[in-house]
Amino acid sequence: SSGINAEYGGPGGLWNLSWRTGTDEYGEQVHCSQNKDLFSNGPKECLEFADYTFKDHFGKSVPSFPPREVLFDYLQGYWKFHGVKNSDILTRHSVRNISYDEESEVFTVRVTNLITNEDIEQQFDRLVVATGHFSTPNTPKFDGIEKFEGRVMHAHDFKDAREFIGQRVLLIGSSYSAEDIALQLYKFGAEHITVSNRTRMGFKWLGKIYEVPIVSNIKGRTCEFKDGRREEVDAIILCTGYRHHFPFMPAELRLPNGNTLFLPNLYRNLQW
């Protein structure tokens, strides 16, 4: 048998923007880590499907690094191109448990209808877990952060840089989220942006973006860094990555958790 499960109101995965943070209207974890003004951090030439290009979809050339809305529109066109209809996709359902019977070699998947609160079980010969890696925040502890007198958030909950107009913002991290959010804060009027990390990105940052070593201590609104310098900040955004999280799978099927991009025993990081 075959089937597709999607928890939200429609497909789209990472590019299906939600305004919600924390939990949704059903009390479920909000998986979306998108923000309002995000652009692709990889060229579309490396992202597009061979059988349906961006030019096929839009009828003309588009920039190599398209914004969120363009990518989502392209994805919608792709599944329509393959004849996937809304009725083919089970939405507003959440997977609760997966079991595997070694004798029959069949997976049993139990899901909850979030609208009716009823459970449904289906059996499958093959199972694809496509929950992604960018939904459960990795939140390391920094000395004194629990007493910080401003706002602390993870990049997962960052939605709009306009919220930080005129503020001094500290970003902790050294990868795509830190880079993207720093540039958005600059564009939309943050007063001062500090990027703190263990591994320097080494960019030639724009005027009011500064890169410093990792934060070592936080007192009040004062952040001290490993090299001894100090700065006053109004908000801290943790750009510290994500954890693999499979709460619906038993231990014998679950992959190792943690903030790891490439997991062991997966062929091309895809197939077990």
Answer whether residue 2 shows pLDDT above 60.
no
Reported as a pLDDT band with limits 50, 70 and 90, residue 261 is low
Q: How far is residue 258's CA from residue 256's CA, in Å, rounded to a whole number?
A: 7
Helix %, strand %, coil % of the chain (to 5): 20, 25, 55
Which pLDDT score is estimated for 244? 83
Indicate the residue type of 52. Y
Per DSSP bridges, beta strands 151-154 and 235-238 are: parallel
Q: Where are the beta strands (DSSP E) in the chain?
A: 93-101, 106-113, 119-124, 151-154, 168-172, 192-197, 209-213, 215-219, 222-225, 230-232, 235-238
Answer whether residue 4 shows pLDDT above 70.
no
Q: pLDDT tens digits for 102-143?
A: 999 999 999 999 999 999 999 999 988 888 778 889 999 999
DSSP state for residue 197 in the 8-state scheme: E
DSSP H helices in 64-113: 68-81
pTM of the model: 0.88
Which pLDDT score is estimated for 177? 92
